Structure 1
Amino acid sequence: MSSPLPLAEEHPPARRRLGCVAAAIIVAAIVAVGGYAGLHWFRSGMDLGGPVCHATAGGETVTFSPEQMDNAGTIVGIAMGRGLPARAGTIAIATAIQESKLRNINYGDRDSLGLFQQRPSMGWGTPEEILDPEYSTNTFYDVLVTVPGWENGVVTEVAQEVQRSAFPDAYGDHEREGRAIASTLSGHTPAGLVCRLDAPIRHTETEDLVGDLERQLGLTATVSADSRTLSLTLGSEEQAWSVGQYLVAKAERHSITAVVVDDRSWTRASGPSGLTWLPTDDPVGAHTVTATLTPQR
């Protein structure tokens, strides 16, 4: 017959203490690993498999919601339409992330409003004007281009010259995100901007889409007679990628289901395929962009 197990109080005290210490270390390690994983999950955009957009440039990937990337498309698109360098987009995006998290919000500190938290009382415009993303973005650039040396200046210092914020050091915290988004949307980084989206729930308002392209990018698009395809012929491959990735950023707003640039295509999907540009069997040429729209039934 085997020997009876000793009672708890018969265990050597030192061994018990060592066991408790070891258990505590193991628990602490599990908590630390879990905390790190949770922090990584939070910083990477809390991707739970729903709609999301990524911008990848220079080995950096940043993650935002379709709403945020839509606003980013407006901000960088207007910079391109005004003939400004990608650096302008970087500064504007970094500023908007700090001020509003890239959302067109109707509240803020005191009377601050919109993407850039501009204040009517400080002469930025009426509340209605400031809450128009195109207006607020253009007014931001109107001031930016008057700042001496803005093209090569430090993001924090240049943005502060425009915004006159009470927290001037915060803008530089978002330069990495601003650079990745601006690099893709300006066309410097091809095939870097993607969005995973659910199926469209409404048809494409072609007049709204064509109007956005004209007002923001200064471009004229052609829409097919059946309202299924939009096409543009651009002056360079870089501009084609700028427009193509702008259309992906605007895909949720305008119910776009596919974009083709040269020999690569992005196809709207709620799964992993929505997060990549793939080779296409029907290339359109290095200077051409096409978008597949959702026609009215």
Structure 2
Amino acid sequence: MPEPSPTRPKRRGRLFRFAAALLVLCGVAAYLVVQYVTGGGGARGCEVVSASGDGASYEFTPEQAANAATIAAVGTGRGMPERAVTIALATALQESGLRNIEHGDRDSLGLFQQRPSQGWGSEQQIMDPTYAAGIFYAHLAKVQGYTDLPLTVAAQRVQRSGYPEAYAKHEPDATLLAAALTGHAAATLTCDGRPDAMASATGPDAVRAALVRDFGRDALQETGAEVGGTPVPSPSPSPSVTATAHGRTVTVPVPEGAERDATGRGERERGWQLAQWAVANASSLHIQRVSYAGREWVAGSSDSRWRPAGGQGAAGQPADGTATSAGAVRIVTGQ
């Protein structure tokens, strides 16, 4: 009778270890997919806190922050009140986890899981966060008395969801985000600002393009915004925007004593909306520093908090010589 081969147990051991390792890798991959799709745990990078000091907070990713900032900017640009922004953010949190996803139930797409077959627009339009937010607000504005309705009722009258009660659970987080991203709650939104290696466009021109995309074609022209480098054409037929001599800086003046806009916001709220919009977009646009009204945020700092602005030179101007004022949002990019 032949003796058992001594290599056979070793082979079985190797196969067992290989199978165990494969199962572990599959488990990790499945976990990451679930976290991405559902907006679950993992490295967050951004946080918004309550301005009332009650300890409420919400942690989220830079991708979610940028999408939330777009939703808020489109809403205020349309003259929608903060309550409308809260409803929109809660809806996007439920429908997509504030991610611009290319899949969903049947032909649902994007931040709000809007369906081309139901008249929300083309696939390309719905996958544009600015368009998606705009069409959501257009439908919300038709809901009579939506500001006085429970959030879940107002959202459901727009979305016609099979799970109408689901929107309510996102109201606390959406309320914090709306307060920060409409400028009502100052210095409450922070991000660690780690640069996104996959960003398609960065630098002052990319910041300006993103501002125009979210706030409207004439947003910068109306305020006389300045972009570091050479003169940049205006997005409208109006005279071109003049540039400063500092190539990595975008300065957006917020006129002091300006009248309140259609949403009742004054200079302070508009300035803080722009400042916290910039922080929310810091990773994708490689923004390193944002300052407004004597406060500044710096990417990569130990706690990423807003703090008193430093490095002031003569007459209260920054030490690098770039002209600014208490009524301007100053955005410095990494390139």
Residue identity matched to 2:308: P
1:117 aligned to 2:121? no
- Aligned mate of 1:214, from 209, 212, 218: 212
1:267 aligned to 2:287? no
Shift in alpha-carbon separation, 1:46–1:100, aligned structure 2, 3 A: closer
Q: State the alpha-carbon separation in 1 of the partners of residues 153 and 170 from structure 2.
A: 13
1:238 aligned to 2:278? no
1:204 aligned to 2:244? no
Q: CA deviation at 1:292?
A: 0.5
- Aligned mate of 2:289, from 250, 255, 258: 258
Residue identity matched to 1:273: D
Shift in alpha-carbon separation, 1:199–1:97, aligned structure 2, 3 A: closer
Q: State the alpha-carbon separation in 1 of the partners of residues 302 and 147 from structure 2.
A: 37
> What SS class does the counterpart of residue 107 from structure 2 fall into?
coil
> What SS class does the counterpart of residue 330 from structure 2 fall into?
strand
1:294 aligned to 2:328? no
Deviation per residue, 1:123-147 (Å, 9 max, x gap): 1011111111111111001101110
Q: CA deviation at 1:177?
A: 0.7
Q: Which has the larger displacement, 218-227 or 110-119?
A: 218-227
1:223 aligned to 2:243? no
Q: Report 1:104-143 matches (<5 A).
A: 104-143=100-139
* Structure 2: segments with no counterpart, 5+ residues: 1-39, 230-245, 259-266, 317-323
Q: Is the 8 A contact 1:227 1:293 kept in 2?
A: no
Report the counterpart of residue 172 of structure 2 in structure 1. Answer: 176
Q: State the alpha-carbon separation in 1 of the partners of residues 72 and 45 from structure 2.
A: 19
Shift in alpha-carbon separation, 1:175–1:200, aligned structure 2, 3 A: closer
Q: State the alpha-carbon separation in 1 of the partners of residues 226 and 93 from structure 2.
A: 33
Q: CA deviation at 1:237?
A: 1.3
Q: Which has the larger displacement, 197-206 or 227-236?
A: 197-206
Q: State the alpha-carbon separation in 2 of the partners of residues 199 and 78 from structure 1.
A: 25
What value does the CA root-mean-square deviation take over the aligned residues?
A: 1.9
Q: Is the 8 A contact 1:114 1:136 kept in 2?
A: yes
> What SS class does the counterpart of residue 272 from structure 1 fall into?
coil
Q: TM-score, normalised by structure 1?
A: 0.79
Q: CA deviation at 1:83?
A: 1.8
Q: State the alpha-carbon separation in 1 of the partners of residues 214 and 182 from structure 2.
A: 13
Deviation per residue, 1:51-108 (Å, 9 max, x gap): 5100112432101000011100100011121221111110000000000000000000
Deviation per residue, 1:204-241 (Å, 9 max, x gap): 24333212212322321311224211111114111111
Q: State the alpha-carbon separation in 2 of the partners of residues 144 and 232 from structure 1.
A: 30
* Structure 1: segments with no counterpart, 5+ residues: 1-44
Amino-acid identity (%): 39
Report the counterpart of residue 30 of structure 1 in structure 2. Answer: none
Residue identity matched to 1:223: V
Whose radius of gyration is greater, 1 or 2? 1
Q: CA deviation at 1:286?
A: 3.8
Paired residues, what number? 248
Residue identity matched to 1:153: L
Q: Report 1:1-297 matches (<5 A).
A: 46=41, 50=43, 52-57=45-50, 58=52, 59=54, 60-199=56-195, 201=197, 204-218=202-216, 219-220=219-220, 221-225=225-229, 226-234=246-254, 235=258, 236-269=267-300, 272-274=302-304, 276-281=305-310, 282=312, 284-295=324-335
Q: Which has the larger displacement, 242-251 or 216-225?
A: 216-225
Deviation per residue, 1:245-290 (Å, 9 max, x gap): 0110011111100100111100000x5332x101113365442110
